Amino acid sequence: MALSNGRIPSPGPLPPLVRRICGGLLLAVTVALTPAAAAAGFVAAAFATASVPLLAVAGLAAASAVAALLGRAAFGLLGKGGMRATAALTGVLLLGVTALAATTVFHPMPAPAAGPVPSDVRFWNLPTGSRIAYVHAPATGTPRPTPVIFLHGGPGTPAEGIPAGGRELAADGFDVYSYDQVGAGRSTRLSDATGYTVARQVADLDAIRRRLGADRIILVGQSWGGSLAAQYLRAHASHVAKAVFTSPGALWGREYPGSKAGEPWDDLTPAQRTRRDDLESRPRLIAASVLLGVNPRAAHALVGDRELDHWMHEVALLGKDSASCAGAAPTKAHDNPQGFYGNQMTVKDFEQLPDPRPVLRTVHVPSLILRGQCDFIKAEVTQEYRQTLPDSRLVNVQGAGHGIAHARPRLYTALLRAFLSNEPLPAPAS
């Protein structure tokens, strides 16, 4: 074909049918992209603000821009261009986005009121700003000068009452305490979620020691409580007389981020897995989880403690027996609230801390490490405590999972009493 003046002829206008098809497709894309734009604008604004109204305005502005720009182009292709059609489409889509958000992201999850506080629960108002709930089993018999403090796991999953072995230790002359860490149980919830750090936990524990008037304390840490006990040892070894690490979590969070130390959810039944999927697919939870990675203050402003603490409690009830040996008796549930933000933010901070092992290798505090036969925590995680702490002993407990005190309460109590009383252990140690 000959070219006029060497130029390529420009394509002619699209045929009417093609224009209508393209316009229809673009209109469908507009409808699909508008909610996505709203979500993107909502999250992007969290980089600059934690104000939920401003996040909502940013989301609607992003949705409006996408609807208007793409809608105008779609109507142009359909031959129905004009501001009225574009404005009408934009208005309808914004109403749809608003209704969708109101029934999902902004629709509150269950948040029942907390039950009555048990009569034996007391509170410390610490100089750190934490109001800490605790229970106390007073020493009887011949008193000993060093109090025993139980540290619960999680972070954010407190026990209820004096843990197994505590009453027996009190009968041996020890003052025994168990407290809810900040952000968990009946203790303080922080208005700023970024305040949940390992340093805050260590500071609270040292403030408790001072409140008790004790130069030295004995620590008994379960799961995450073992990780916390190690961090306290790193900072205040001279104030620890002895330490017990029961099914301890990672010694160094950065070495075992996420669930790399062990996964407790492998043994759920199909029905439990379905229920867990349902719990984790709630849009409001997903929105909060996304915001946590951008701006924790925004996440906390969107979804408060009561909702997410209850959600975490439901998850804990679902998997409370998944960390036991097969055929073990069910674990008794309790109503002491979980702590979602205390869990999420403390774990995040824990995984950023420097390696504590160089300091801990120089700490000469008598330590007992207990690991259950069926513990989901990897053996090498527990073994690292034995390899790092120079004055430590490791006992492998047969017939027990992560909760040794639940599966083997008599043996667990006997181990605690013997170790703290400087008597031979009732099981082989390595």
What integer pLDDT is reported at residue 326 of this predicted model? 85
Choice among 8-17, 146-155, 205-214, 298-307 with the minimum mean pLDDT: 8-17
Question: What string of DSSP letters covers 149-199?
Answer: EEE-BTTTB---SSPTTHHHHHHTT--EEEEPPTTSTTSPPPSSGGG--HH
- Burial grade of 260 (CB within 10 A; 0-12, 13-18, 19 or more): exposed
Q: Show the tokens assigned to 4.
A: 């006029």
Residue with tokens 């779609």: 74
Q: What topology does CATH give the domain 122-420?
A: Rossmann fold (3.40.50)
pLDDT for the residue numbered 1: 46
pTM: predicted TM-score of the whole model, two decimal places: 0.92
Those residues with Cβ within 8 angstroms of residue 320's Cβ, 6 or more apart along the chain or in another chain: 330, 331, 333
Taking residues 321-341, report their average pLDDT.
89
List the one residue out of 334, 283, 411, 410 whose CA is nearest residue 118. 334
- Considering only CA atoms, give the Rg of the chain: 29
DSSP string, 69-106: HHHHHHHHHTT--SHHHHHHHHHHHHHHHHHHHHHTTT
pLDDT value, residue 264: 84
Helix, strand, or coil here: 406? Answer: helix
pLDDT digits (tens, 9 = 90+) for 22-55: 989 999 999 999 999 999 999 999 999 999 999 9
Q: Identify the residue whose tokens are 């490490």.
A: 369
Positions of CATH 3.40.50.1820 in the chain: 122-420
Q: Percentage of the chain surpassing pLDDT 70?
A: 96
* 138: three-class secondary structure by DSSP: coil
* The pLDDT of residue 171 is above 90: yes
Q: How confident is the model at residue 267 (pLDDT cuts 50, 70, 90)?
A: confident
Predicted confidence (pLDDT) per residue in 343-362, tens digit: 999 999 999 999 999 999 99
At 269-292, the pLDDT tens digits run: 888 889 999 999 999 999 999 999
CB 221 within 8 A of CB 229: yes
Q: pLDDT per residue over 87-111, tens digit each? A: 999 999 999 999 999 999 999 999 9
> What is the C-alpha to C-alpha distance for residues 381 and 102, in angstroms, rounded to an integer?
45
What is the average pLDDT across 393-409?
A: 95
Q: Which of 289, 284, 290, 274 is nearest to 307 (CA)?
A: 284
On average, the pLDDT of the chain sits at 93
Distance CA 33, CA 66 (A): 7
Distance, CA of 97 to CA of 424 (rounded, Å) = 68
Task: Read off the pLDDT band of 192 (50, 70, 90).
Answer: very high
pLDDT computed for residue 427 by the predictor: 66
